Amino acid sequence: MRVIFLLAGIAAGAASAFYLAYNYQPILLNGTIHAAIFSSGLVAMYFAKKLTAQRAGWYLAGALPVHLAIHFIVIRDLTQLIGVSHALLNFLSLP
């Protein structure tokens, strides 16, 4: 039974990351659709009254590793993420 939630998470994580890889929209729309795809399984479980902490954990255990692997390996936005985080750190350190 838990495998279903793990597989749903893997599918949602992959679909969400591949959406970013192959669709270029304005950033606000892109981020909204990206987040909606990623969380679609959790939303479906909520409305079906099947959402529990354990099921959400299994879903996220499947979604996050696949999602991040696609981000860093296929999309190759790790360097962009590092650059943004360094820019924010520099901005926050201004007097």
Query: How far apart, in whole angstroms, are the C-alpha atoms of residue 93 and residue 82?
Result: 17
Query: What is the chain's pLDDT, residue by residue, as a tens digit (95 residues)?
Result: 678 888 888 888 888 878 777 776 666 677 787 788 888 888 988 999 988 999 898 888 888 888 878 777 777 666 555 555 555 555 555 55
Q: Measure the CA–CA gap between 10 and 4, rounded to whole angstroms.
A: 10
d(CA 95, CA 91): 9
Say which DSSP state 93 is in: T
Q: Which amino acid is at 74?
A: V
Sign for the pseudo-dihedral over CA of 77, 81, 86, 92: positive
Rounded CA gap, 11 and 93, in Å? 40
pTM: 0.68
pLDDT on residue 28:
66
41: domain range?
Answer: 2-92
Give the torsion sign (CA, 67, 9, 22, 30): negative
Number of domains in the chain: 1
Give the pLDDT confidence score for residue 23 in this predicted structure: 72
Residue 88 confidence (pLDDT): 55
Distance CA 7, CA 10 (A): 5
